[in-house]
A and B are shown apart, each in its own frame.
Chain A
Amino acid sequence: MSTTQKITLAKGLNMGLRKAMEDDDKVLLMGEDVGKLGGVFRITDGLQKDFGEDRVIDSPLAESGIVGTAVGMALRGYRPVIEIQFDGFVYPAYDQIVCQVAKYTYRSQGKVKMPIVIRIPFGGGIGAVEHHSESPEAQFAHTPGLKVVACSNPVDGYWMIQQAIAHDDPVIFLEPKRQYHADKAELDETATPEPLFTSRVVRAGSDATVLAYGPTVKTALKAAEAAASEGRNLEVIDLRTLSPLDMAPVFESVRRTGRCVITHEAHVNLGMGAEVAARITEQCFYSLEAPVLRVGAFDMPYPPSRIEEEYLPDLDRVLDAVDRTFAF
């Protein structure tokens, strides 16, 4: 009997959520429209029907309320999994996330756990109106007490959501929304996943290292393909975890290649790339042939969607940055 099937990211997340709910009856889902509708992206499709309204909870339209009540549920021993409908709607919950969720374990000297997963569809490229295409990861990675991960493909979606739910610390779980219903991948449910807080080399190479996470992993892989046709061999690493960062594979790679480009949809200024570049500089200084370059959003609000492709990092901008590391 075959144990594999081809799934989308949306399906992988849906299956992962279902599995987590089957494995632990303390797991609750809560968010806007997650019940009957199955979420605006259908990630929770069918779960309320199978697990009931007590475990898949349609919430009033108030993000702070969703996160704040999740804190109370966690104190009561539950493992709430929250869906923030869109990245741009997480800010009303910012205080609860940063001041309450992130700090409860520390303030209680470890007496209280906050096993809360906050799922956020993030990134652009779907032709949406404003507040629907943002990349707020650095704001959460900057907050001690939160863990931040980003999945980039269907198989990771399936495993990472289960691992995040089973984890005892709060996890900001970023899902590249434009990938939800895009590429399919082969899932083997009997496989053993890598640990959650690890980065992964997704394409081996020797000439330069390209770092990416979430939606830009695909961009980086395409760039590597294009570079290969020109005889340049790029190594691509999917960071997967943004806080804590798993830098060991990155250092190993950069020490071999001597060149590194990091790409994300978020703003370059004080973004994840800045932190990653600083760490590479600290640890790989004598291996570097060029400064670490960053390819991301310009420092402006997300533009009207008709020009979002000129704003988002793409294959050519990644390759241009790679070229510049060679020209240095």
Chain B
Amino acid sequence: MSDPVSFGPDLAEVFGPSQSDGGPDLVQLLTPEGERVHHPEFDHDFSAEELRGLYRDMVLTRRIDVEATALQRHGELGIWAQLLGQEAAQIGAGRALRPQDYVFPTYREHGVAYCKGVDPLRLLGLFRGVDQGGWDPNENNFGLYTIVIGAQTLHATGYAMGMQRDGVVGTGDPDRDSAVIAHFGDGASSQGDVNEAFIFAASYNAPVVFFCQNNQWAISEPIERQTRIPLYQRALGFGFPGIRVDGNDVLATYAVTKAALQRAREGNGPSFVEAYTYRMGAHTTTDDPTRYRLNDELEHWKLKDPIERLKVYLRRNGLVDQQFFDDLDAEAKEMGHHLREGCKALPDPKPMDQFDYVFTEMTDEIAAQRDEFAAYLASFEGSHS
């Protein structure tokens, strides 16, 4: 018998064993215990004000999520996609953006939307069923939520190609140079569209950051079902760098995303950021994670909570006082009130509204259907059956 043909190195040897802790390449600036550590490449001198700001953003984002979840339980929303546990990944990425940068979200980027100035109330419309995206994408440079998994990564790449043609990449003017960030999850990394987006972005050197929140679960399917190697290592095969960052560390996520965006703005092309995090809640409010994952895992990740670690750091270093927490608590309550009252006041679309905006101008065909439907509805007027 001859020796078996070698197809190259053993992947387990190359990529290492299971990396449930994030592995050796994980970029971290704040440990789960709230200890500030430094990284040779990705670091940032955070002012006390910046740190308090990031903390505030995460607390308010969690409040948006908790409030929306409660609204779903009360029957005010049909469904809600929860972000519990992913606050640092979203705020870190969201705060690294400049106003001229453009975001292409999934349907879970509530924290990023908040960073981009979208009123969180607007996010509820889709989930309440009163609209399919109630904000103007071009007002806040924040695209509509995208439910077909991964489709938006191609939109992001095309938008970035548009930026290249507009001459807003690599000019050296910080107010002009722009980039795009494409959000997606570990599940989406298996989609053809995401892989095509990688190829297009690499081919054209497009200024786009592919920001993957690996929250370990695609509904019930664990990350092992999507990939045999750490996701960030896929990037190299497409021809651009990939970095794994502790997605529960808002400081590291901010620093890494900022560097990736800057790289793109300067005309050095796409990169891939894998924010290693955990979906502490359900996929959506319709999901029941107890059917497919162990509570132990959740308990383990609770120890890595993105908000707690920054709170510990702020307190230990005397960067906050009780007044800060009291004020933030009041602000969070106000946010909750805004969402609760605002949600119930969101106007239902009218039956005749459904005919609008199929096209930029209504066609005669649709106008005829609208008129027919209006006449049908009118036929009930005055009847007292």
- Residues of A participating in the B interface, judged by any CB pair closer than 8 Å: 28, 54, 59-60, 62, 64-65, 67-78, 80, 92, 95-96, 99-100, 103-113, 144-145, 147, 168-169, 197, 244-245
- Closest-CB distance, A99 to chain B (whole angstroms): 5
Closest B residue to A55 by CB, please name it: B165
B158 within 8 A of A: yes
Contact between B137 and A75, CB atoms less than 8 A apart: yes
When chains A and B are docked, how far (Å) is the Cα of A69 from the Cα of B198? 11
How far does the alpha carbon of A108 sit from the alpha carbon of B153 in the complex, in Å?
A: 18
Query: Are the C-beta atoms of B193 and A96 separated by less than 8 Å?
Result: yes
Rounded to whole angstroms, the CA-CA distance of A28 and B155 in the bound complex is 16
Instruction: Name the residue among A68, A78, A103, A112 with the largest chain B CB count within 10 angstroms.
Output: A68
Task: A54-B164, A65-B157, A109-B356 are known; give 15 further A-B pairs, CB within 8 A.
Answer: A60-B196, A60-B203, A62-B196, A64-B193, A68-B154, A72-B160, A72-B180, A96-B193, A105-B358, A106-B132, A110-B360, A112-B138, A145-B358, A145-B359, A147-B359
Please state if A109 and B151 are interface contacts (CB–CB under 8 Å): no
Return the 10 tightest CB-CB contacts between A and B, nearest first.
A72-B158, A68-B154, A76-B162, A69-B158, A65-B196, A72-B159, A107-B132, A72-B155, A110-B357, A168-B360
Q: Residue on B with the closest CB to A77?
A: B162
A64 and B154: CB pair below 8 A?
yes
Partner of B196, one of A68, A74, A110: A68
Residues in A neighbouring B161, C-beta threshold 8 A: 69, 72-73
How far is B164's CA from A110's CA once the two chains are assembled, in angstroms? 26
Please indicate the chain A residues that have their CB under 8 angstroms from the CB of B197 in the complex. Answer: 65, 68-69
Q: Which of B144, B165, B196, B365 contacts A107 (CB 8 A)?
A: B144
Cβ contact within 8 Å between A100 and B151: yes
CB distance from A304 to the nearest CB of B (A): 29
Residues of B within 8 A of A (CB): 104, 131-134, 136-138, 143-144, 146, 148, 151, 153-166, 180, 192-193, 196-197, 199-200, 203, 356-361, 363-366
| B162 near A106: Cβ-Cβ < 8 Å | no
Cβ of B155 and Cβ of A105 under 8 Å apart? no
For residue B137, which residues in chain A have a CB less than 8 angstroms away from its CB? 75, 108, 111-112
16 A-B residue contacts at CB 8 Å? A65-B196, A65-B200, A67-B154, A69-B154, A72-B159, A96-B193, A103-B132, A104-B144, A105-B358, A108-B133, A108-B357, A109-B131, A112-B144, A147-B359, A244-B365, A245-B365
Distance between Cα atoms of A95 and B71 in the complex (Å)? 32
Cβ-defined contact, A64 with B196, below 8 A: yes
Whether A54 contacts B165 in the complex (CB less than 8 A), given A73-B158, A75-B143, A111-B136, comes out as: yes
Specify which of B131, B144, B164, B364 is in contact with A244 (CB 8 Å cutoff). B364
Flag if A72 contacts B357 (CB, 8 Å): no
- Cβ-neighbour of B199 out of A60, A72, A92 (below 8 A): A60
Most buried by A among B157, B197, B360, B361: B360
The main secondary structure of chain B at its interface with chain A is helix
User: Do A111 and B138 touch across chains, with their CB atoms under 8 A apart?
Assistant: yes
Residues of chain B contacted by A245 (CB below 8 angstroms)? 365
Q: Are B359 and A68 in contact (CB under 8 A)?
A: no
Chain A residue numbers with a CB within 8 Å of B153 are 68
A265 CB, nearest partner CB in chain B, Å: 24
* Alpha-carbon separation in the docked complex, A291 to B318 (Å): 86
Most buried by B among A59, A108, A197: A108
B358/A107 in contact, CB under 8 A: no
Asked if B151 and A95 make an inter-chain contact with CB atoms under 8 angstroms apart, the answer reads: yes
Which A residue's beta carbon lies closest to that of B165?
Answer: A54
Residue numbers in B under 8 Å from A28 (CB-CB): 165
- CB pair B144–A62 under 8 Å, yes or no, is no
- Most chain A CB neighbours (cut-off 10 Å) among B134, B153, B154: B154
B residues near A75, Cβ cutoff 8 Å: 137-138, 143, 155, 158-159, 162
CA–CA, A36 and B145, complex, Å: 37
- Per the bound structure, the CA–CA distance linking A54 and B363 in Å amounts to 34
Tell me the minimal C-beta distance from B165 to chain A in angstroms: 6
A197 contact set on B, CB distance < 8 A: 363
Residues in chain B near residue A60, CB distance under 8 A: 196, 199-200, 203
- Which of A76, A111, A168, A197 has the most CB atoms of chain B within a 10 A radius of its CB? A76
Indicate whether A59 sits within 8 Å of B166 (C-beta atoms), given known contacts A68-B154, A109-B131: no
Tell me which of B136, B154, B196 contacts A72 (CB under 8 A): B154
* B151 contacts A96, C-beta separation under 8 Å: yes
Does B154 lie within 8 Å of A96, measured CB to CB? yes
CA distance A77 to B164 in the complex (A): 13
Give A107's nearest chain B residue, CB to CB.
B132
Closest to A80 in B: B158
How far apart are A225's CB and chain B's nearest CB, in angstroms? 33
Q: Are A68 and B158 also in contact (CB < 8 A) when A96-B151, A107-B132 are? A: yes
B132–A105 touching, CB < 8 Å: no
Cα of A28 to Cα of B166 in the assembled complex, Å: 13
Supposing A77-B162, A110-B357 touch, asked if A244 and B154 sit within 8 A by C-beta, the answer is: no
- Closest residue of chain B to A69 (Cβ to Cβ) is B158
- Contacting A105 at CB < 8 Å: which of B143, B156, B360, B363? B360
